[in-house]
Amino acid sequence: MAPDDDGLAQVRGWIADADRIAVLTGAGISAESGSPTFRDAQSGLWAKFDPARLASPEGFAADPALVWGWYASRRDGVRQAQPNAAHRALADWAAVHRGRLAVVTQNVDDLHQRAGSRDVIRLHGDILEDRWFDTCRRQERGEPPCDPASARAGEPPTCADCGNRVRPGVVWFGEPLPVAALDAAEQAARRCALMLVVGTSGAVYPAAGLARTARRHGARVVIVNPHESELDDVADLCLRGPAATLLPRLLA
Ligand code: BJW
């Protein structure tokens, strides 16, 4: 059911009043760019692929070629995707209302950045980045680490010196989030007067906990999602609909 005009008008008022807004985004904001989500029943990646084999350090250690190949095809998808009206609405609003909006994303694509958003806080890394799977031996000796770009071609590429393997720069299950990004996200959640939670199931922590933090610190929380999410209980209002339709209407 599309949200009624009263709900949209109410949220527009909250946006106008908020000195600081944090936006927590998930895979759903990129769905209308053609990128699959993770947990949608039919089309989600986890409906077809096993996250334990493909999105964990144990899975990579067990079958690096399988994991590398899967990420190579997802990287192609990310490169081909284009930002949609939801990414653009956030970037355009922030450009006009400088310093008022922080985008915190769980997404590993670069669609917020390509739409023009700046200083995006990336909780789960960057799928287009390469990094070493193990700590580089040179780094362990306190020397500058080897550059993954100079790894010997292969699936995955390996270090000619020590055999270390290249992996995508994403955060897998059981791995810590980048400390600086998580700190910045928690600060944004604590300080905001309004948090928009857009296109996430709210199933993955610590990211999902940011909405609860915002609420605990007195912020209003609004969810933009066509379906129910695990964060609906913290929301002041749930706007049920697709992000690329609703965000332009909220932020016009
Ligand atoms: C639309 C739409 C449209 C569709 N418009 N909306 C506390 C409790 C329980 C468990 C834990 C806990 N704390 C930690 C854990 C463990 C674990 C976890 O959360 N597990 C749960 C699943 C049970 N968390 C971790 O392991 C994290 N690490 C950690 O906690 O480390 C601790 C540590 C500390 C010190 C040392 C060592 C460890 C890491 C989590 C990493 C998540 N990684 C992934 C993969 C990234 C790489 C890749 O892309 O392959 O990140 S999993 C996947 O889920 C991806 C996403 O960012 C993340 C969230 O998914 P998201 O974005 O919400 O997508 P969906 O599909 O779930 O939802 C899409 C939504 O969009 C749906 O609601 C749709 O309805 C909606 N939608 N169309 C708007 N048009």
Contact 59 CB / ligand 1 (< 6 Å)? no
Contact 95, 21 (CB under 8 A): no
pLDDT at position 212, please? 98
4, 43: one domain: no
Q: Per the structure block, which two tokens stand in for 43?
A: 């089309």
115, 10: one domain: yes
Which residues have CB under 8 Å from 227's CB, separation 6+? 240
Contact 211, 221 (CB under 8 A): yes
Q: Looking up tokens 């895979």, which residue turns up?
A: 27
Contact 31 CB / ligand 1 (< 6 Å)? yes
What number is the average pLDDT over the span 60-73? 98
Percent of the chain with pLDDT over 70: 99
pLDDT at position 110, please? 98
232, 193: one domain: yes
Tens of pLDDT, residues 78-119: 999 999 999 999 999 999 999 999 999 999 999 999 999 999
The parent domain of residue 147 ranges over 36-80+127-170
Active site residue 124: yes
**Which CATH number characterizes residue 67's domain?**
3.30.1600.10
Looking at 113, 146, 170, which one is the last position of a domain? 170
Contact 45 CB / ligand 1 (< 6 Å)? no
**Which CATH number characterizes residue 111's domain?**
3.40.50.1220
Burial class (CB in 10 A: 0-12, 13-18, 19+), 108: buried
Q: Does the pLDDT at position 130 exceed 80?
A: yes
Tens of pLDDT, residues 170-212: 999 999 999 999 999 999 999 999 999 999 999 999 999 999 9
pLDDT at position 132, please? 96
| Ligand 1 atom closest to 86 (CA) | 5
Instruction: Name which residue sits closest to atom 54 of ligand 1, judged by CA.
Output: 204
Q: Coil, strand, or helix at residue 239?
A: strand
Count of structural domains, the chain: 2
Percent of the chain with pLDDT over 90: 94
Contact 196, 222 (CB under 8 A): yes
Mean pLDDT score across all residues of the chain: 97
Q: Does the pLDDT at position 1 exceed 80?
A: no
Q: What's the gap in Å between 203 CA and the centre of ligand 1?
A: 6
Q: What's the gap in Å between 219 CA and the centre of ligand 1?
A: 22
From the list 45, 52, 47, the residue with the least C-alpha distance to 74 is: 45
Give 2's pLDDT tier (boundaries 50, 70, 90). low
Cα distance between residue 230 and residue 14, in whole Å: 23
Contact 181 CB / ligand 1 (< 6 Å)? no
pLDDT at position 74, please? 98
Q: Coil, strand, or helix at residue 31?
A: helix
41, 164: one domain: yes
